[in-house]
Amino acid sequence: MHFGLILGDQLHHQLATLKYLDRSEDVILMAEVLEESTYVAHHPQKIALIFSAMRHFAKELKAQGWRVRYHAFNRNSEIKKLIHFVQAQHQLLPATALIITQCGEYRLQHEIESNWSIQLQLPVHCLDDDRFFCSSMQFRQWAGKYKTLRMEYFYREMRKQTQYLMQGQQPIGGQWNYDSANRKRWSGNPPLPALLKFEKDQIDADVIELVKREFPQHTGHLNHFHWATTRSNALLALNHFIKNSLPNFGDYQDAMIYGVDYLFHSALSPYLNCGLLMAKEVCDAAEAAYYTGHAPLNSVEGFIRQILGWREYVRGIYWVNMPEYANRNTLQHVTPLPQYYWTGRTQMACMTECFRNTFEHAYAHHIQRLMVTGNFALLSGVQPQQISEWYLAMYADAYEWVELPNTLGMVMHADEGLLASKPYAASGNYINKMSDYCKHCYYNVKTKTEPDSCPFNSLYWYFMIKNEKFFRSNTRMRMTYQSLDKMQNKEQIVAHAEDLLSRLDEL
């Protein structure tokens, strides 16, 4: 008899562990434990989503005839870690082996591979996670062929492998990437789709009450919990996106609007990352929308690129480079994370709005994360590991394999340019171009050195001056430094930026 341990991000019936085991003989183990709930201060909605989805999944497994041993969260229990639960079950029901699918975080995977077999006195077999298009081994082989690992080239190989939006070896439409067509500002039309909400069942209600009671100190609210916690509802969310949002997703995927939380974004990443949805079925649905004429090519290509390209790419980067990757800090940034990342209280309207969305929904779309809260952390010189921990804690879709490369690499440019060839740094002008945030703000986005000037402006140029040795020779930043060379007021910009940095928590 084998044990099969299923984690909170592995909630799919085609999981490698379930395909390996025999339901007539083997036992499934699932546990809500203190260590996994608190190693960072996870948003209450993130905890509630995972716990409720786990309980629903366990219920489905039992209905299919599996024997399931489930440990519900109990702060006072002696079972604080996953291994404690396996040990306790092994004493009650001796097994011949423990089967587990590869984890989503190096921390736990390393612990399992290095210690569990000895501690449990039980063979532990880790299976490859075949829910992804690209295996870790395949990515290593791809990475071994290049000095520079650019996502665009990886994405093209994945397009050829999967044949999404392809005619033989060439992309439909003649272009691999329609990103340049996906940068429109939304001004009220077309109308936004209605938010899909799911009726809570007793499992949902019980979990929400538990999280309110047990994690009151964690930043974030539970009042707007609208996530699907079952596969059937996650499929409804997928269909809702394809029908109502995908046609306009491409045009407006970079737009930001004050008081609008989702625009035309899918908000499917939490379901993909916890297992309620499979990447292939999501990409299949998007591609079908193109072939039926329901959605244009720029929308479908842009959406598939996020999953087939970026999601698979950052996973590969993570597993190839861990654990050393987590400690990188190329720009030697040491500024503590400002307090408003936890309180949301700042005079910068763009930051306040992104924090509001984050705290209310455990969600913010990629431009809010990259070009507002992330951009500000980069320009302020925040210590990369601190902002990485914040993103891991705050978002319902955040697991370290996907969060760390996105934050440390793409947001903070702390990985020596491994993930991105240039930093995603921008002044307030970018935010003003892509949103209406600035008209709600105390600060003036049009000036750089006045007392009420947008902090992004002077901090942007200060960042370029301070890090000139890293970026001056970067061909993609030539125009930036040409503009800097023409500036007459660099000393005032530096002085104003240094003043802002000296009172960062007051902005």
Q: How far apart are CA 64 and CA 458, in angstroms?
A: 60
According to the model, what pLDDT value does residue 506 have? 93
Closest-CA residue to 260 (of 103, 395, 368, 386) = 368
109 in the Ramachandran plot: left (φ > 0), alpha (ψ -120 to 50) or beta?
alpha
340-506 belongs to which homologous superfamily? DNA Cyclobutane Dipyrimidine Photolyase, subunit A, domain 3 (1.10.579.10)
Strand ranges (E), 160-239: 166-167, 170-171
pLDDT of 180: 75
What residues in the chain have per-residue pLDDT under 50? none
Please give the backbone phi and psi of residue 101, each rounded to the nearest 5 degrees, phi first. -85, 145
What pLDDT, on the 0 to 100 scale, is given for residue 184?
82
Question: Residue 183: CB partners within 8 Å, gap ≥ 6?
Answer: 254, 434
Q: CA-to-CA distance for 296 and 246, rounded, in angstroms?
A: 9
Instruction: Give the DSSP per-residue string, 84-120.
Output: HHHHHHHHHS--SEEEEE--SSHHHHHHIIIIIHHHH
CATH superfamily of 2-127: HUPs (3.40.50.620)
- Structural domain spans, the chain: 2-127, 136-193+245-321, 340-506
CATH no. of 136-193+245-321 = 1.25.40.80
From residue 229, give the alpha-carbon distance in Å to each of 16, 205, 276, 396. Answer: 21, 11, 8, 12
pLDDT value for 334: 96
In this structure, the chain runs to a length of 507
Cβ distance 379 to 425 under 8 Å? yes
pTM: 0.94
